[in-house]
Structure 1
Amino acid sequence: MDPAHESAVVVIDMINTYDHPDAAPLLASVRAVLPSVTRLLERARQRDLPVIYVNDNFGLWRSHHQELLDQALRGPHGDLVEPVRPDDRSLFVVKARHSVFYQTPLDYLLQQYAVRRLVLCGQVTEQCVLYSALDAHIRHYQVAVARDAVAHIHPDLARAALRMMQVNMGADLDDAVAVEL
């Protein structure tokens, strides 16, 4: 991976055990967006762009990212994790809260790779994706959201979140096959 890139794909919370109260409504949405997430990852990897997974740690503070992946793959919804599993070139950042930036080294990592544009995908549109887009915007990153590659719990809130990202943050919204990388 070349150390200087204009764009990076940020995969939010796709390594998931789906062992939480909102899992039931989220699962159908994840299944629907999974093909678009995988297409976006393929496009980024073909261009040798950084693919950065930023993921909750499931409250396992001593875990390594491989342990988190193994736990999610062994879970009852491992079929949703397998298609988007990190490859050997992927980068991985553990987060504890909604934003991919909040108390993580992500900003420093992006600076090291000279990234100025973030293409967001993952879950949950109206929570972690929205808060991450806002934090990217206030840090002066250009933001794009692959709108067919973000899963939601509440469809109405997801539509509103996408509109807020576009109108209030200047985010580019496009489908995974067309989003500018």
Structure 2
Amino acid sequence: MGKSALILIDMINTYEHPDAELLIPSLRKALPHVVRLLERARARGVPVIYVNDNFGEWRSHHGEIVQAALAGPRAELVRPVQPDADSLFVVKARHSIFYETPLAYLLSQLDVDRVVLVGQVTEQCVLYSALDAHIRHLMVTVPEDAVAHIHSDLADAALLMMERNMHATITTAEAVELCVVD
């Protein structure tokens, strides 16, 4: 097994969007699992990469995105997973973490061949990102208890598609193997 990277998808968020109230209950269940996985990754020296929507703020950088989320009405959902000094941050504008971002190049520079995807939304950004990782010949792991959904039926279908069509490993956060190769 090669080198892993933990990728947090859209976890830095103000939750001021139309689907937020549908998303938040699932996020509250997933958050403790994301936090524990994040702590494990940091302790092992596994690269932690935040790939986050810029919310249409084209002049913003990652510090401003984090500050806005921490100043927002749902800061308690952001504070436990906020980036530390060693975290990497990629800004995205669309659903996939790879679409017109430097993420593929970054992963190649880090010699990563396995991505662990956590965050939101299972049936949207996580699904599309898993597909794009798969077509880039990356191994994909999705801990089903560390991703949040808007619609549970679509999330279940998305997880099944990732497993069957993309050969993703669907597991729990506790069972995720975080590999570091020096």
Counterparts of 1:111 and 1:173, CA distance in 2:
23
State the TM-score, normalized to the length of structure 2. Answer: 0.96
Residues 1:135 and 2:127 aligned together: no
Q: Pick from 9, 14, 17: which aligns with 1:17?
A: 14
| CA drift at 1:64 | 1.3
Residues 1:37 and 2:34 aligned together: yes
| Superposed CA offset, 1:8-58 (max 9, x none) | 000000000111111110011111110000011011111101000000001
Q: Secondary structure at the match of 1:148?
A: helix
1:177 paired residue number: 174
Counterparts of 1:43 and 1:65, CA distance in 2:
23
1:126 paired residue number: 123
The answer to whether the Cα contact below 8 Å between 1:13 and 1:54 also exists between their aligned partners in 2 is yes
1:113 paired residue number: 110
Matches within 5 A, 1:1-181: 6-181=3-178
Two-structure CA RMSD over aligned residues (Å): 0.7
The answer to whether the Cα contact below 8 Å between 1:173 and 1:179 also exists between their aligned partners in 2 is no
Counterparts of 1:8 and 1:156, CA distance in 2:
28
Counterparts of 2:40 and 2:145, CA distance in 1:
15
Q: Partner letter of residue 11 of structure 2? A: M
The answer to whether the Cα contact below 8 Å between 1:165 and 1:171 also exists between their aligned partners in 2 is yes
Counterparts of 1:25 and 1:101, CA distance in 2:
26
| CA drift at 1:123 | 0.1
Q: Secondary structure at the match of 2:146?
A: strand
| Superposed CA offset, 1:106-134 (max 9, x none) | 00000000000000000000000000000
Q: Partner letter of residue 5 of structure 2? A: A
State the TM-score, normalized to the length of structure 1. Answer: 0.96
Q: Secondary structure at the match of 2:112?
A: coil
Q: Secondary structure at the match of 2:42?
A: helix
Tell me the number of residue pairs that the alignment of Structure 1 and Structure 2 aligns. Answer: 177
Counterparts of 1:101 and 1:26, CA distance in 2:
23
Counterparts of 1:137 and 1:64, CA distance in 2:
28
The answer to whether the Cα contact below 8 Å between 1:125 and 1:161 also exists between their aligned partners in 2 is yes
Q: Partner letter of residue 117 of structure 2? A: L
